[in-house]
Amino acid sequence: MSGPSLKKQDAHTSIHEAALNEAKDLNQLFKTCLEKDEMDRAMQVAEIILEHWESRTLKHAEAEEEGLYQEMVSEKPKLEKTVHQLTRDHDLMRRIVSQVKESFEKKKADYEVLSLMEALIIIDEIHNEDEMNKLLANNES
């Protein structure tokens, strides 16, 4: 989703929440597999988790960088620093997702990779808050 809908806080927040809730559920499922020592199942869940981050949050980030962020800066140039910070958050998430991917490609499914996936959620939560409060606040149009 891009264009005007991402400018609307409500619509944009629902995109964030839907993706985050799914990511949290998937992490929980992955953790349960580790606890029960079900490694084949853990690897299956791992594939779904990667697919989730790549197709939802990272795609959303790309759409923002190509559309919304540029649009906001051209409307309000003082938002440039905020946009740089938000883009840095996206980069951190991209880097962590690629670390997760490397681990899974080596068939490594353990608590270490779980902690990377928990970190993704924490960064994403802070990022989403900033997107709403620093980028889109007072911007209902």
CB of 112 to Fe ion, least distance (A): 26
CB of 114 to Fe ion, least distance (A): 23
CB of 18 to Fe ion, least distance (A): 12
Helix (H) / strand (E) containing 28: helix 9-35
- Segment 54 to 83, residues that bind Fe ion, using CB under 5 A: 61, 64
CB of 24 to Fe ion, least distance (A): 17
In this complex, which beta carbon is closest to Fe ion, that of residue 64 or of residue 79? 64
**Residue 63 contacts by C-beta under 8 Å, 6 or more apart in sequence?**
1, 2, 6
In this complex, which beta carbon is closest to Fe ion, that of residue 46 or of residue 83? 83
- Paired tokens of 72: 């906001």
Quick note: the x/- pattern for Fe ion over 22-61, rule CB under 5 A, is ---------------------------------------x
Q: What is the dihedral of CA 114, 120, 126, 128, to 10 degrees?
A: -130
In this complex, which beta carbon is closest to Fe ion, that of residue 13 or of residue 99? 13
CB of 132 to Fe ion, least distance (A): 9
Are 5 and 63 within 8 A, CB to CB?
A: no
- Paired tokens of 133: 């409060």
Q: For the residues of 81-140, what is the DSSP string, one character each?
A: HHHHHHHHHHHHHHHHHHHHHHHHHTT--SHHHHHHHHHHHHHHHHHHHHIIIIISTT--
In this complex, which beta carbon is closest to Fe ion, that of residue 8 or of residue 101? 8
* Residue ranges binding Fe ion (CB under 5 A): 61, 64, 131
